[in-house]
Amino acid sequence: MKYPMIAPGNWLGMVGGGQLGRMFCQSAQSLGYKVAVLEPAESCPAGDVADLHIRSAYDDAAGLAQLAARCQAVSTEFENVPAPSLDALARDVRVAPAGSAVAVAQDRIREKAFIAGAGVPLAPYAEIRTAADLDAASPELFPGILKAARLGYDGKGQARVADKDQARKAYADFGGVACVLEALMPLRAELSVVLARGFDGRCVVYPSAWNEHRDGILAVSTVPTQLDQQQAELQRSAAQAALAIAAGLDYHGVLCVEFFVLQDGRLLANEIAPRPHNSGHYTMDACITSQFEQQARVMAGLPLGSTDSLCPAIMLNILGDVWFDPASGARREPDWAGVLAVPGASLHLYGKAEARRGRKMGHINVVAPTLDAARRSAAAAAAALHIPFDRAA
């Protein structure tokens, strides 16, 4: 299906008021669009920069009707928006991605079944809907990770379990909700693929980000421009798998697929994010077209932009921890001047009113002519904020 172009000056809509919505607003506005954000919070990163903030619950019929009446196309910035809300919007307005695609990504049981059905390898797993399912789980799934099927993110709703006794306790701690039990695999690396797919089926894929997580939260993404043969093959395989998933979902918009690289070189899909992704933030400073501009282009029926990376890049997440002195724990202002004194460093803060430990508050993109130079600059920026960073990684 190909929709007519929505010209700049018209309205695009966003369901969700977080930082991904904020960066979408800024990119869409730079193209000349006005943006309405639907978000129940009185103050939020996206609502604070949008042209209109509709303060409404995500499933409120009146709020959704107001958004559809104002906008010609609507997207979402996180997967926990009720899929029926997107279906309701789609009766009156262009929606990307569709509620059907989001519904798959917001339920780990459905997601894993879909990925397997698309022919993409996964870690061994079992569906856990009752305590009896845990009792019947294969010993090969231990040690493993128990993950709540819904509403988990950034390590929340997940627990490492060495055996069935630990799994039973974690399952009870989660309130007996549906889960997946996934075998822990011998990991060598983690990478992610961000792509955009238009309503005409055309796709573009960004260079893969190689990711480091700490406590279940993405900490560092590294995007080289020169790959060795093995890295290049892994990137090609991951891109092909992500494209197969996007086609199977009949997906429209920006999509991220996260992958594990095992010690033996095998590639396994981890999960789908039906939106721009933290690991794609490097595109804001290192690529011709950012993932957020790409999101607006898909919605508006514009040609997809180039995903070429102009130089090596490293993205560092900024958590609320940097507002607290590492020695005394006292609250203080981070050394932003020290960050911005670093060659090639760009600072992106999300406008969140309260800094809390573990809360994503912003990110730093570092670009340089070579990956070694980017690592040196990233190490200097990280040191200014007392963020751990291994320059050799």
Binding residues for ATP: 108, 147, 152-158, 190, 213, 270-271
Amino acid at site 64: L
- CA 103 remoteness from chain centre: 16
User: Quick one: which H or E segment has residue 74?
Assistant: strand 73-76
Cα–Cα dist 41/374, whole Å: 38
Distances (CA, A) of 44 to 39, 64, 68, 293, 351: 8, 18, 21, 20, 8
Residue 331 structure tokens: 């609250």
Residue 295 structure tokens: 């999101």
Amino acid at site 187: L
Residue 256 structure tokens: 């991220």
- Phi/psi for 37 (5° steps) reads -115, 130
What is the largest distance, in Å, between two alpha-carbon atoms of the chain? 59
Residue 147 structure tokens: 């993950």
Residue 216 structure tokens: 């279940």
Cα–Cα dist 210/224, whole Å: 9
Task: Give binding residues as ranges.
Answer: 108, 147, 152-158, 190, 213, 270-271
